[in-house]
């Protein structure tokens, strides 16, 4: 990648990818439920059940403004639940 492509200048490929990241970006979260809590409190090895994934689609956009040599940005991002990609128990 050349130095020209790395510079964050409005109109460049890098700027457009930074301003509006290519979708979609998905995040998956897994949790673990301890099913033998009382036994664990007595020193037993925990027995866990994996729960998930809970899936979210992440959308981000960078809003920019510049005046002369000054450059300001604001990141705007949202996460949307994706129930069709989410599973309660695995």
pLDDT block averages, 10 residues each, the chain of length 90: 56 72 82 95 96 87 65 74 76
* DSSP helix/strand/coil, 41: helix
pLDDT at residue 30, as a whole number: 92
pTM equals: 0.54
Residue 57: strand pairing partners: 26, 80
pLDDT at residue 81, as a whole number: 87
d(CA 73, CA 62): 7
Q: Both tokens of residue 40?
A: 């664990």
d(CA 85, CA 21): 21
């Amino acid at each position: 990648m050349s130095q020209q492509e790395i510079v964050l200048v409005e109109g460049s490929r890098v700027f457009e990818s930074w301003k509006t990241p290519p979708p979609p970006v998905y995040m998956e979260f897994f949790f673990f439920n301890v099913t033998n809590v009382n036994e664990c409190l007595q020193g037993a090895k925990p027995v866990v059940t994996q729960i998930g994934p809970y899936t979210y689609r992440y959308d981000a956009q960078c809003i920019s403004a510049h005046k002369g040599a000054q450059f300001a940005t604001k990141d705007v991002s949202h996460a949307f639940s994706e129930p069709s990609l989410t599973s309660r128990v695995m």
